[in-house]
Amino acid sequence: MLKKSIIYIISFIFIASCATPKAIDIVRLDDDKMSCNELRLAIESADLSEDAAHSNKGITDENILSALFFFPAYFVTYGTSIHAEYNASQRKDHLLKLYLKKGCSKAKGSKYQTMISNKLKQLEQLKAQFVKGRIDEEEYLIARKQILIEFE
């Protein structure tokens, strides 16, 4: 009984230590059909994915456990994190090109610039709350989406 418990615990730790960030697709079929707001949300989502992938590199609890139980797993985790970070960065570049191509960044006047400035401040405050752990990822994404919907 004790032997089975130890095996289960070690198996659980081993499996949990192999968790790596998921690499996102750089180009998706519906990218060309996105509105300016949807493009902004997708860029923000890619930025969040890039941050998550970057945070999984280096010395983390998962990487230490993977190095202890199966040393090559550390390099797999590190390589996967680099791949996920690269894909997120390339996705952001792709979406920014679409954003410019659609003319979403054209000058729209001083009232619009003031509104944008206020929305950016709200987004910065929201991201600060997320980084500090005051809100979880789901609350962050919903609140960010509500702020960005008001752009158009």
pLDDT 10s digits, 52-82: 777 666 666 666 666 666 666 666 666 677 7
Summarised one tens digit per residue, pLDDT across range 38-49 is: 888 888 888 888
Instruction: Specify the DSSP class assigned to residue 61.
Output: H
Helix count (H) and strand count (E) of the chain? 6, 0
pLDDT, residue 13, reads 56
Class of residue 141 by CB neighbours under 10 A (exposed 0-12, middle 13-18, buried 19+): middle
pLDDT, residue 89, reads 85
pLDDT, residue 137, reads 85
Cα dist from 79 to 47, 63, 85, whole Å: 19, 12, 10
Pull the structure tokens for residue 51. Answer: 């941050």
| For range 107-124, the mean pLDDT | 81
d(CA 109, CA 106): 10
Higher pLDDT, 12 or 97: 97
| For range 126-145, the mean pLDDT | 87
| Helix, strand, or coil (residue 114) | helix
d(CA 122, CA 50): 21
**What region does 9 belong to: left with phi over 0, alpha with psi -120 to 50, or beta?**
alpha
pLDDT, residue 130, reads 86
pLDDT, residue 66, reads 64
pLDDT higher than threshold 60 for residue 23: yes
